[in-house]
Amino acid sequence: MKIFIAIIIFSILVLFHELGHFLLAKKNGIVVQQFSLGMGPTLLKTKRGETEYCLKLLPLGGSCMMLGEDEDSEVPGSFNSASVWGRITVIAAGPIFNFIMAFIFSVIIVAMMGYVPSRAANVPEDSPAYEAGLREGDQITEFQGYTIDSGLDLNTWLALNELEDAPIEMTIKRDGVKKLVSYQPETQEKYLMGFNRADTQRLEVASLIKDMPLEESGIQPGDVITEINGTAIQNQDDYERYIEANPLSEEPLDITYEHNGKLKRITVTPASYTQVSLGFQYQLGREKTSSWNVFRYAAVEVKYWIRTTVMSLGKLFTGQFGIRDLSGPVGVVDVIGDTYEAARSEGTTVLWASMLNIAVLLSANLGIMNLLPIPALDGGRLVFLILEAIRKKPINRQAEAMIHMAGFVLLMALMFVVMYHDIMKLF
C-alpha cells in the first residue's frame, strides 16, 4: 500500500511541476514535443496537435520536452526563439507550480484539521519564563530572533538548533500588545541516550541528538525501543518509571528495539549532557478556523515548509547534516508507509490530512530543490538565462549543454548514493 500511495503522490507532484513548464511554454509560443509522466520505456502514448503525451514505465520523474531546448537553434517555435524573459518564466513555472500545489493542499488540511497556533500552553509558576512575564495563552511571535508564525515554527527551530546556557529572548503578544521576554534558562547535568520521543503511546524514536550514543549505535528515527536491560517498555509511562527506578549513569544499557518489524539488540553507554530547559510548553495541537483565515494559515503552512527546507539545506552545506541525513525515493516511501500505518487507526480524516501533509512537504521540497543553482536543475538553467538577460546575449549554448549534462551525471550519482543509504537503513 505504501508504494502505491507514494507513486500517486510522486506522480501528482511531478505532473503539476511539468504542467507549469508546459502551460508557460504554450503561452510563449514554444512547441512542446513530448509531455510525459515517468521515465524509461513508454507504456502508453497519444498525440494531440504538436505534442505527444506519454506514460512511461518507471513512476519517478517526468518531462516536458520543448523544441530545441538543448540545441543552438532559434527556428520558429523553438525554446531559444522565445524572448529571454519568456524562457525565464517557462523554467521558473515548474517550481512555482509546486508552491501553488503545496498551497492548495494546505488549504484542504487547514479546512479539515485547523492550524497550529504559536501559543504558550503551560508555564510553571516557579520557572524563569514565568518570572520574566510569560503566561499561558501568550502568542509567541519571535524566538531567539526567529519569526514564529505557528507552533510548528518553534518546534522546528528547537529541533534544528540546540538551546545553549545563555539568555532566551522572545517576543510575545497578549491582548494585541507585544512584549519582550528575556530570561536565563535552568540547566541540569544528566546522562542521556540521546533521542526524542515521537508520542506517548510507545517509545518511538522521533529524532536523534547529534553526537550522542544512540546516533552512533545505528538506531534510526522511526525505530521503537521495546526493552531496556530486560525490562519491557510499552509506552512513555513505562519508560519514565524505569528511568525513575534506574537513573541513567555511565553503566552500559542493553537495548532491544524494533526496526521494520524485526527486533534488534544493541549496547549503549549513556553520555553526560548539559540539558537546557525551555521553561514552558507550547501548543502543537491544531485548532479549527474558518472563512479567509483558512487561506491565511494555509500560506503560513507553506511558508513553514519552505523555511524548514531552506534551514535544513543550510545545515547540510555547513556540515551539521551529512549525506546520511538525506532521503531519496526509498526513504520517502518508508516515511509514507510509517505515516500511513500510524494515521489509519486515527480515522479517515486524520489519514487523509497526514497524506496531504506529506504531499505539501514534498511539493515544497521539490520547488526549493529545483530552484538551487545547480546545473541540470531549473535553478541552474535560470542562472544562465539571467546572465543572458544581463549580458544581452546568450552564453555559449554548447558549453551550457555540456555543463548541464555534467550536472545531471553528478545528480544521478548522488541519487544512487542516497538510495544506497536509504536501503541500508531498512536492514
Q: Give the pLDDT of residue 321.
A: 66
Q: What is the pLDDT of residue 405?
A: 87
pLDDT of 118 > 70? The answer is: yes
How far apart CA 359 and CA 365 sit, in angstroms, is 10
Question: Three-state secondary structure along 341-395?
Answer: HHHHCCCHHHHHHHHHHHHHHHHHHHHHHHHCCCCCCHHHHHHHHHHHHHHCCCC
Percent of the chain scored above 70 by pLDDT? Answer: 95
Given a contact cutoff of 8 angstroms between Cβ atoms, the answer to whether 17 and 97 are in contact is yes
The answer to whether 116-186+277-285 and 190-272 have equal CATH topology is yes
Contacts of 387-393 with CB under 8 Å at 24 or more apart are 388/84, 389/84, 389/85, 389/88
The partner residues of 29 in beta bridges, in order of sequence, read: none
Q: What are the structural domain ranges in the chain?
A: 1-115+288-427, 116-186+277-285, 190-272
Give 7-74 as a DSSP string: HHHHHHHHHHHHHHHHHHHHHTT--EEEEEEEEEEEEEEEEETTEEEEEEEEEEEEEEEETTTTSS--
Task: Examine the pLDDT at 426 and tell me if it is beyond 80.
Answer: no
Read off the pLDDT of residues 187-220 as tens digits, 9 standing for 90 and up: 988 888 888 886 667 888 877 877 788 888 888 8
Say whether pLDDT at 323 is over 70. no
Phi, psi of 53 (to 5 degrees): -105, 125
pLDDT of residue 325: 65
CA 317, CA 253: separation in Å to the nearest integer? 35
The C-alpha cell at 124 is 510553571
pLDDT value, residue 40: 84
For cell 536523534, name the residue.
Answer: 208
Segment 22-32 shows an average pLDDT of 94
| pLDDT tens, position by position, 60-110 | 778 899 998 877 777 889 999 999 999 999 999 999 999 999 999 999 999
Model confidence band, residue 324 (pLDDT cutoffs 50, 70, 90):
low
Beta carbons of 365 and 309 less than 8 angstroms apart: yes
CATH class of 190-272: mainly beta
Average pLDDT (310-332) is 73
Instruction: Answer whether residue 329 shows pLDDT above 80.
Output: no
Give the mean model confidence (pLDDT) for residues 339-361. 86
Nearest to residue 94, comparing CAs of 20, 37, 24? 20
CATH T-level topology, domain 116-186+277-285: Pdz3 Domain (2.30.42)
Packing angle of the helix pair 2-27, 348-371 (nearest 10 deg): 50
Q: In terms of DSSP H, where are the helices of 66-149?
A: 84-113, 128-131
CA distance 372 to 370: 6
Say what the pLDDT of residue 312 is: 85
The predicted model gives 122-151 an average pLDDT of 94
At 427, is the pLDDT very low, low, confident or very high (cuts 50, 70, 90)?
low
pLDDT score recorded for residue 75 = 87
For the chain, the average pLDDT equals: 88
CA 206 vs CA 67, 77, 125, 196, 260: distances in Å: 47, 52, 29, 5, 15
Least reliable range by pLDDT among 7-21, 212-226, 233-247, 317-331: 317-331
Residue 334 is predicted with a pLDDT of 75
Looking at residue 211, its pLDDT comes to 78
pLDDT reading at 365 higher than 70: yes
- What is the pLDDT, as a whole number, of residue 319? 67
pTM (whole model) above 0.85: no
Q: CA-to-CA distance for 356 and 105, rounded, in angstroms?
A: 6
Q: How much is the pLDDT for 73?
A: 75
Which residues lie across from 147 on neighbouring strands? 142
* 204-218, 298-312, 347-361: range with lowest mean pLDDT: 204-218
Q: For residue 221, what pLDDT band results from cuts at 50, 70 and 90?
A: confident
* Three-class SS state of 421: helix
Q: Which residue has the higher pLDDT, 309 or 6?
A: 309
Total number of residues shown for the chain: 427
> Higher model confidence: residue 183 or residue 69?
183
| Mean pLDDT, residues 328-337 taken together | 74
CB 124 within 8 A of CB 185: no
Whether 141 and 173 have beta carbons less than 8 Å apart is answered as yes
Lowest mean pLDDT among 5-9, 252-256, 414-418, 421-425: 421-425
Is-contact 209 192, C-beta < 8 A? yes
Q: Residue 8: pLDDT band by 50, 70, 90 thresholds?
A: confident
